[in-house]
Homo-oligomer: A and B are copies of this chain.
Amino acid sequence: MTPNITFLNLVHDELLEVETLIRAQAEGYHQDLQAALNHLLGSGGKRVRPAITLLISRILHAPHEKMINLAGSIELLHTATLVHDDLIDGSLLRRGIPTLNARWSPGATVLTGDFLFSAAAKLAADTDSIAVMKSFARTLSTIVNGEITQLFRSPCQLNREQYERQIYAKTGSLFELSSESAALISDTNCDVINAMRKYGYFIGIGFQIIDDILDFTGAQATLGKPVGNDLRQGIITLPAIIHLQDFAETPLVQEFVDRTCTPDDEQIALLVDQIRTSDSIHKAYLEAETYVKKGMEKLDLLPDCPERDALEELAQFIVRRDL
């Protein structure tokens, strides 16, 4: 079961403000953009990223309006990339809710994603921080570059270094933005800015490793996609990397490695099953835990306060969640 998410309590009111702000971004624009925003916001994200931004902003006494704009910008940027992602993957469900492209034409979906980028950029500019804008733009480049790299890579070809780059692009970079930019809109020093950036980086990497583990261990109903979906699509994540290394001598793994260019459905199903029941999952979990712990250590620079406890709790939640 997913543990209670108490770290959101402290910023409950701010999160509501962020949600109202996000929904207001389509006002004055085409009514279907408003409908799309409502649908996307209703599909139940946990708002982990804006919560990071808000908690750090509160600790560092960032101006209220700027921190709301910033958190809104980050959630919109995240949503925009998901919209284009789902379109490209042809995903029809996300968190059990129909994706935008399941209901809209590809053209409308592309444009809605673009609109979300523009709204995210507007809110980022509303922080009045050039440093935030630069981080925002760099993060978007990193995310998109990661997706392009994944799109053009031959299936089943991934080593550890590529995997780390990939999960940084996919998840780490946006967590990093969520935490670093909160420090950038505050009156603080470089050490704190760097520490906050690294907090986001480490827990973001941990978050993605757990996501990749859940792809093997989660129930199909909660994932909204078949178990072992990544491997079936030729995407080798940490549990598979560990498994292929640890069991390099077994016939199944040898055959799999030899046949990377022509993956065989039955063979992949067997391998998924083997990974699910091996200790490769546990080993991957320990790696995620190490990353998250490194992230938590970066909080030492902050004053002892309920918001810091919440950031610790948030980090722990990342490795304990089951969705």
Residues of A within 8 A of B (CB): 29-30, 32-33, 81, 84, 87-88, 105-108, 110-115, 117-119, 121-122, 124-126, 128, 130, 133-134, 136-138, 140-141, 144-145, 147-149, 151-152
15 additional A-B residue pairs with CB within 8 Å, beyond A32-B148, A130-B133:
A29-B141, A33-B148, A105-B151, A106-B106, A108-B151, A113-B114, A114-B117, A114-B144, A115-B141, A115-B148, A117-B140, A118-B137, A126-B134, A128-B130, A130-B130
Whether the pair A30, B149 counts as a contact (CB closer than 8 A) is yes
Q: Which of A30, A125, A147, A149 has the most CB of B within 10 A?
A: A125
Whether the pair A134, B122 counts as a contact (CB closer than 8 A) is yes
Instruction: List 19 A-B pairs, Cβ < 8 Å.
Output: A30-B149, A33-B145, A84-B114, A87-B110, A106-B106, A108-B148, A108-B152, A110-B113, A111-B148, A111-B151, A114-B144, A117-B117, A117-B140, A119-B137, A121-B136, A122-B134, A122-B141, A124-B133, A130-B130
CB-based nearest B residue for A28? B145
Known: A106-B106, A145-B29. A125 touches B152 (CB 8 A): no
CB distance from A175 to the nearest CB of B (A): 18
CB distance from A65 to the nearest CB of B (A): 14
CB-based nearest B residue for A123? B137
Considering the chains assembled together, what is the distance between the CA atoms of A1 and B121 in angstroms? 41
Which residues of B sit under 8 angstroms from A106, Cβ to Cβ?
88, 106
CB-based nearest B residue for A120? B137
Whether the pair A121, B133 counts as a contact (CB closer than 8 A) is yes
Considering the chains assembled together, what is the distance between the CA atoms of A118 and B122 in angstroms? 13
Considering the chains assembled together, what is the distance between the CA atoms of A157 and B87 in angstroms? 29
Q: Lowest 6 CB-CB distances: which A-B pairs, in order?
A: A118-B140, A122-B137, A88-B107, A125-B133, A121-B137, A118-B141
Considering the chains assembled together, what is the distance between the CA atoms of A138 and B118 in angstroms? 7
Known: A118-B141, A121-B136, A137-B121. A147 touches B29 (CB 8 A): no
Which residues of B sit under 8 angstroms from A105, Cβ to Cβ?
151
